[in-house]
Structure 1
Amino acid sequence: MQLKVENVEKITKACTYLHNYLRKSITSRPLYTPPGSFDTEDLENGVIVNGAWRQITSNAKRLTDLQKVPRRPLMDAKLVREELKEYFMTPQGKVEWQDMYQ
């Protein structure tokens, strides 16, 4: 699906707003994301506990694979990625647990 950048931004924002609304709404949250839906981390030992979504998706029919299109990331994307990488390796951007998984 090829879309203009402006449309991709609008679609992404709309999906994000809808997701956030469904997660925050008292009436929709238990239906949209019931307890145990997501992976969680046992903070005492750093073990990831699989959420129910893994079982649901493993039993579902697979989505059709997208056609592979050779593309290179735009220079802007490369710059943003590099900037984020640099930030997350600084004392200000680092989180205390990020080196546990090396």
Structure 2
Amino acid sequence: MQLDSKVTRRHVRSVGQDRWVVSFLPGRTLSLEQARAALRVADDLDELREAAAVLGLTLLELVGLATMESSGERLWSLKEAAHDVASAAAQHGRSGSR
């Protein structure tokens, strides 16, 4: 028996004894509930990837930024980070020349 994703080409295949393998998780055998969850996640990721592209981000950037904000971490822009690095380098240069 095989279950196919409704959105992608991913699939889940029965290997007997109520165990399943997922096409993108090689070497793992899962329960049916776990296998269905894996397919759901794969489908959701494809939808998120499309949304990220609309925003001009990669999937990993979108997930990382959303995760950071939801956990309350401070987001630094690249400009702020570059300024911090330049300031630290300048201070280190001054202390090293004494």
Coarse TM-score class (shorter-chain normalised): under 0.3
Compare relative contact order (CA 8 Å, sep 6+) and give the higher one, 1 or 2: 2
Normalized against structure 1, the TM-score is what?
A: 0.24
Q: Give the number of the structure whose alpha-carbon radius of gyration is greater.
A: 2
* TM-score calculated relative to the size of structure 2: 0.24
- Greater per-residue helix proportion: 2
More strand by share: 2
